[in-house]
């Protein structure tokens, strides 16, 4: 007799590279993947149990231990804190009778912290059994928990719908889109499939040339020229190639892809077809963060529609011999999987640990085949570039940075949301556009970016000056800069894959030293230490996460040194607040000696 | 497996280096008789200004070693796909920081190895590893044979600059032949990458992520380990995290690998 686990493993072709899907299905079924499930999976895939477990234990949304009937993942991003997360967290603990990081005794509720879920424009937000609950107040907490105790399902507790497609039968979500500014590229009017008319008359090489001519650079943040990436991939010897779309969007403060995926997913899939055609891909994979699982039916329906229209499948868009399809691969809660090689590892059912480069994915990528990994926004832009030409695209933006950029603006601002701007706007203009309230600082590009103050507000958003993936967190005058930096540093500790020694633990050391300063026990030497140790991170680590993990501390020291100095003891170069009795408490207890109180 | 043993036995190590040297001089002899053949094989590069030669595509750590230059490593294991995870072998190649163990040597590379910047970074990594675990060297069976301790000595670490955190680690002694003391583990993944069963299954793997990551052992597979495999596992571990059961402190103090000379000196003595 075949068990449930067996049939799930069968469903994915007994293929170890589909471990993520196997875990997701089992988790949906039973809430967790237990010891006996691990053993069954291992036996059936003929790999060892520790290998199964090493992938399982990497991802935040998988669990080996039983979770609750209702699992509440409450976002702990900075902006959630700004919007009263602590109160809401307390209310959840009180109402459920359990602490964060545990399951209530009756097995009803699991409470968990989670890194940014892409709802910074409507915090505090939580994901409960896959359903997003934004704008949570303490009143709402009580209401939810009372209803769950009475046996209501999560979908029954959705008490309003957000705007736009969030109201559609396929989504029915409370998420609001806050699309505050449409621009000339991503959110301009578009009839689905329009670019295919032109595509049919172009050779793949011509498509690449057009994209190269547009000068578009990757929109994820690193800014590699897209056309060049495609060209490199086609030069790789192997004919079996893949296109991966990075919809992991894990950088705290970014939520633009969420809005694209909700409102104009057809534009993204159209871009994935164009890119697939240009590089001669066998398959396209949308790597989607599990936080956006609520969009699954919506996206699958659009894909089905594409298949019906002949835009996916055999001879796509009427192009002879172009056979291509797209599937969705879910992640399961790991920021580092937004790094392209970690994303590839995750797609292969492994831990999302970044690979050593070279070789680069364009030559050795998914399943060791040549692979292009592009951001959602990049692929959307490509559709308009093909339709209107590279010259048209270049007419927007600055000299070296063409086109438009989506900004996800949140924090101390009147109109949080997504704004499509032309590159070349200053930070000051941006603050005015979104209605910033008494801004003291802006975190440009999320925690891995740069914390800037008033002295940099006249800088221009573009690659030649201030490049960004688009997350803009506005920090008001009344906020503590040190608390901001601590939140970001803890985010990196939580999300480090743990592979590189410095990223795994120097981050912890840095946080502890920062805490010492916050506690008023710091001295001038601690600031020097933070700067010196932080700089090592840039040199020492393999991937972008590790290299940038000290950025909040380093740019904070650079721009807000007065906030640090205000906290430390003046004129002391040694620790005066060291509590010896407390430090030796444990050993004193062990030997029966008690320090005088 | 014999490869691993060779790495861990300093005597054979010296022999091996000697052999390599001999091979090299044979090549030099060939040069005179069959010039074209050899000229194509060797490429030139510099480490801290010193001219070096190696086979094209050779691993930088091993190429440096063949030229009598020590680049410190912890996660590197000859013959196993490099991980580049401990970061101790960071060098500057043409001005950019890269890990030597993951770098294939290319013609004309200019490598900085022994500079103040790089040395400071290495010291910081070593000290980070010391405080992230609970390393009580005097009581550890691997003391004197431990690569982390040896690097600490070589780079004159007196005490880590970082405060100890004394994080609680769980020891797994439930398998018959070995036990894992996670207090001493530096997560180099040598065991994960190199110790497999005959049919290719992993005996060791990582569990969790970030600073909570730890080595897990497959109990079912570990229960079937032979004495030889257990010894091999212990020898693979650069520190005292994997230890063989039912024996202890076999090598007396004074005759352990790094008791008399610092780690790396066996490499540096070759070309002197």
Rg over CA atoms, chain B = 20
Pairing of strands B50-55, B42-47: antiparallel
pLDDT of residue B11: 36
pLDDT of residue A589: 87
Tell me the pLDDT tens digit for each residue of B171-217. 999 999 999 999 999 999 999 999 999 999 999 999 999 999 999 99
Domain B42-114 shares a fold with domain B118-246? no
Compare B47 and B7 and report the one with higher pLDDT: B47
Q: Are the Cβ atoms of A49 and B129 closer than 8 angstroms?
A: no
B118-246 placed in CATH 3.30.70.20: yes
Nearest Cβ partner for A48 among B99, B129, B218: B218
Q: CA A575, CA A201: separation in Å to the nearest integer?
A: 72
From chain B, the residues in CB contact with A47 under 8 A are: 201-202
* Test the A interface: residue of B175, B206, B225 with most A CBs within 10 Å: B206
pLDDT of residue A571: 84
pLDDT of residue B251: 86
Q: CA A226, CA A357: separation in Å to the nearest integer?
A: 18
Phi, psi for residue A462 in degrees, rounded to 5: -175, 170
Interface of A with B (CB under 8 A): 46-51, 53-54, 57-58, 334, 351, 356, 493-502, 504-509, 512, 529, 533, 536, 539-542
Cα separations (Å) of A249 from A115, A220, A257, B184?
Answer: 12, 8, 7, 36
Mean pLDDT of the B122-126 span: 97
Nearest to A88 by CA among A48, A14, A139: A139
How near does any CA of chain B get to the CA of A502, in Å?
6
Confidence of residue B6 (pLDDT cuts 50, 70, 90): very low
pLDDT of residue B3: 40
Residue B18 has pLDDT above 70, yes or no: no
CB count within 10 Å of CB A296 equals: 16
Phi, psi for residue B196 in degrees, rounded to 5: -125, 160
DSSP code at position A115: S
Tokens 């063989």 — which residue? Answer: B244
Compare A521 and B39 and report the one with higher pLDDT: A521
B42-114 placed in CATH 3.10.20.740: yes
From chain A, the residues in CB contact with B202 under 8 A are: 47-48, 50-51
Every domain of chain B and the residues it spans: 42-114, 118-246
Nearest Cβ partner for A48 among B202, B208, B213: B202
Tell me the pLDDT tens digit for each residue of B249-264. 888 888 999 999 999 9
- Cβ contact A336:A497 at 8 Å: yes
Spatial neighbors of A227 by CB under 8 A, at least 6 apart, are A208, A209, A210, A211, A212, A213, A214, A216
Residue B269 has pLDDT above 90, yes or no: no
Nearest Cβ partner for A498 among B117, B131, B210: B210
Between residues 9 and 38 of chain B, which touch chain A (CB distance below 8 Å)? Answer: none
Q: Which residues of chain A have pLDDT under 70?
A: 1-2, 595-597
- Cβ contact A281:A321 at 8 Å: no
Prediction pTM value: 0.93
**CA A399 to chain CA centroid, nearest Å:** 30
Pairing of strands A131-133, A281-288: unpaired
From chain B, the residues in CB contact with A493 under 8 A are: 210-211
Supply angle C-alpha A182, A183, A184, rounded to 5: 140
How near does any CA of chain B get to the CA of A283, in Å?
29
Q: CA A483, CA A451: separation in Å to the nearest integer?
A: 13
pLDDT of residue A272: 98
Q: Six-digit token pair at A443?
A: 């975190």
Q: CA A262, CA A164: separation in Å to the nearest integer?
A: 8
As for the ipTM of the complex, it is: 0.93
Q: CA A244, CA A285: separation in Å to the nearest integer?
A: 5
pLDDT of residue B33: 38
Q: Are the Cβ atoms of A506 and B97 closer than 8 angstroms?
A: no
Confidence of residue B35 (pLDDT cuts 50, 70, 90): very low
* DSSP of A231-291: HHHHHSS-S-EEEEEEE---STT--HHHHHHHH-HHHHHHHHHHHHHHHTEEEEEEEE-GG
Q: Are the Cβ atoms of B131 and A505 closer than 8 angstroms?
A: yes
Q: What residues are paired with B53 via a beta bridge?
A: B44
Cα separations (Å) of B240 from A402, B143, B148, B185?
Answer: 55, 8, 10, 7
Residue B38 has pLDDT above 50, yes or no: no
Tokens 């359990």 — which residue? Answer: A98
Nearest Cβ partner for A47 among B99, B125, B201: B201
How near does any CA of chain B get to the CA of A289, in Å?
18
pLDDT of residue B13: 35
From chain A, the residues in CB contact with B97 under 8 A are: 539-540
Tell me the pLDDT tens digit for each residue of A326-354. 999 999 999 999 999 999 999 999 999 99
Confidence of residue B21 (pLDDT cuts 50, 70, 90): very low
pLDDT of residue A100: 97
Q: Are the Cβ atoms of B129 and A505 closer than 8 angstroms?
A: yes
From chain A, the residues in CB contact with B132 under 8 A are: 501, 504-505, 508
Which residue in chain B is spatially nearest to A508 when comparing CA positions? B211
CB count within 10 Å of CB A38 equals: 20
Spatial neighbors of B148 by CB under 8 A, at least 6 apart, are B74, B126, B129, B130, B135, B186, B238, B239
Query: For chain B, how far is it from start to end, CA to CA, in angstroms?
Result: 31
pLDDT of residue A588: 87
Confidence of residue B10 (pLDDT cuts 50, 70, 90): very low
Q: Are the Cβ atoms of B211 and A505 closer than 8 angstroms?
A: yes
């Amino acid at each position: 007799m075949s068990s449930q686990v067996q049939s799930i493993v069968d469903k994915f072709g007994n293929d170890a590279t589909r471990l993520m899907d196997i875990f997701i299905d089992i988790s949906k079924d039973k809430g967790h993947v237990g010891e006996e499930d691990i053993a069954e999976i291992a036996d059936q895939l003929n790999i060892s149990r520790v290998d199964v477990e090493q992938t399982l234990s990497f991802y935040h949304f998988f669990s080996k231990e039983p979770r609750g009937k209702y699992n509440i993942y409450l976002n702990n991003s900075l902006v959630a804190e700004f919007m009263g997360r602590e109160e809401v967290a307390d209310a959840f603990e009180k109402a459920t009778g359990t602490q964060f990081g545990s399951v209530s005794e009756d097995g009803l509720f699991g409470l968990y912290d989670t890194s940014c879920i892409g709802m910074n424009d409507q915090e505090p937000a939580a994901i409960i059994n896959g359903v997003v609950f934004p704008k949570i107040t303490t009143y709402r907490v009580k209401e939810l928990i009372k209803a769950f105790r009475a046996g209501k399902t999560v979908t029954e507790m959705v008490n309003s719908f957000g705007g736009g497609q969030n109201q559609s039968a396929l989504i029915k979500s409370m998420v609001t889109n806050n699309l505050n500014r449409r621009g000339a590229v991503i959110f301009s009017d578009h009839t689905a499939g329009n670019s295919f008319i032109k595509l049919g008359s172009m050779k793949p090489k011509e498509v690449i040339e057009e994209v190269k001519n547009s000068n578009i650079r990757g929109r994820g943040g690193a800014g590699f020229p897209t056309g060049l990436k495609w060209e490199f991939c086609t030069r790789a010897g192997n004919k079996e190639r893949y296109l991966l779309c990075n919809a992991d969007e894990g950088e705290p403060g970014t939520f633009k892809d969420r809005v694209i995926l909700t409102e104009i997913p057809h534009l993204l899939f159209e871009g994935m077809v164009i890119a697939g055609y240009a590089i001669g891909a066998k398959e396209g994979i949308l790597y989607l963060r599990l936080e956006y699982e609520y969009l699954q039916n919506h996206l699958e329906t659009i894909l089905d529609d594409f298949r019906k229209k002949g835009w996916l499948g055999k001879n796509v868009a009427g192009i002879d011999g172009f056979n291509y399809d797209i599937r969705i691969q879910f992640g399961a809660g790991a920021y580092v999987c937004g790094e392209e090689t970690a994303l590839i590892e995750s797609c292969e059912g492994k831990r999302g640990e970044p690979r050593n480069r070279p070789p680069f994915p364009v030559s050795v990528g998914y399943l060791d085949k040549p692979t292009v990994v592009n951001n959602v926004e990049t692929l959307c832009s490509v559709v308009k570039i093909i339709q209107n030409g590279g010259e048209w695209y270049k007419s927007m933006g600055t000299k070296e940075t063409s086109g438009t950029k989506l900004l996800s603006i949140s924090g101390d601002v009147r109109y949080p949301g997504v704004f499509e701007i032309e590159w070349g706007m200053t930070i000051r203009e941006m603050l005015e556009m979104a209605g910033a309230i008494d801004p003291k600082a802006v975190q440009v590009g999320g925690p891995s970016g740069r914390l800037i103050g008033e002295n940099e507000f006249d800088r221009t958003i573009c690659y030649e000056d201030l490049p960004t993936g688009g997350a803009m967190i506005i920090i008001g005058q009344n906020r503590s800069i040190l608390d901001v930096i601590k939140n970001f540093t803890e985010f990196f500790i939580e999300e480090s894959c743990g592979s590189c020694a410095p990223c795994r633990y120097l981050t912890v050391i840095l946080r502890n030293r920062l805490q010492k300063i916050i506690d008023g026990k710091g001295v001038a030497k601690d600031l020097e230490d933070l700067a010196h140790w932080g700089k090592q991170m840039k040199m020492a680590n393999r991937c972008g996460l590790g290299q940038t993990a000290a950025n909040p501390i380093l740019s904070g020291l650079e721009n807000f040194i007065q906030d640090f100095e205000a906290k430390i003891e003046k004129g002391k170069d040694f620790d005066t607040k060291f509590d010896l009795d407390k430090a030796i408490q444990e050993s004193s207890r062990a030997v029966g000696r008690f320090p005088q109180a | 497996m014999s490869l691993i043993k060779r790495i861990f036995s300093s005597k054979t190590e010296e022999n091996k280096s000697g052999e390599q040297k001999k091979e090299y001089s044979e090549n030099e002899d060939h040069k005179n008789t069959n010039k074209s053949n050899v000229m194509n094989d060797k490429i030139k590069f510099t480490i801290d200004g010193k001219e070096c030669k190696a086979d094209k595509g050779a691993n930088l750590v091993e190429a440096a070693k063949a030229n009598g230059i020590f680049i410190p490593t912890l996660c590197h294991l000859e013959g196993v796909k490099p991980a580049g995870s401990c970061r101790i072998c960071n060098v500057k190649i043409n001005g950019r920081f890269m890990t030597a163990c993951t770098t294939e040597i290319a013609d004309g590379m200019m490598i900085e190895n022994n500079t103040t910047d790089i040395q400071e970074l290495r010291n910081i990594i070593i000290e980070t590893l010391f405080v992230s675990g609970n390393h009580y060297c005097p009581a550890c069976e691997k003391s004197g044979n431990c690569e982390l301790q040896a690097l600490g000595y070589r780079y004159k670490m007196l005490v880590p600059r970082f405060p100890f955190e004394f994080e609680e680690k769980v020891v797994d002694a439930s398998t018959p032949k070995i036990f894992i003391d996670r207090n001493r583990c530096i997560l180099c993944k040598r065991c994960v990458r190199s110790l497999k069963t005959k049919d290719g299954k992993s005996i060791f793997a990582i569990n969790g992520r970030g600073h909570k990551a730890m080595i897990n052992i497959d109990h079912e597979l570990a229960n079937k380990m032979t004495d030889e495999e257990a010894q091999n596992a212990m020898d693979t571990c650069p520190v005292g995290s994997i230890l063989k059961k039912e024996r202890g402190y076999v090598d007396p103090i004074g005759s352990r690998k790094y008791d008399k000379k610092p780690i790396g000196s066996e490499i540096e003595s070759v070309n002197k």
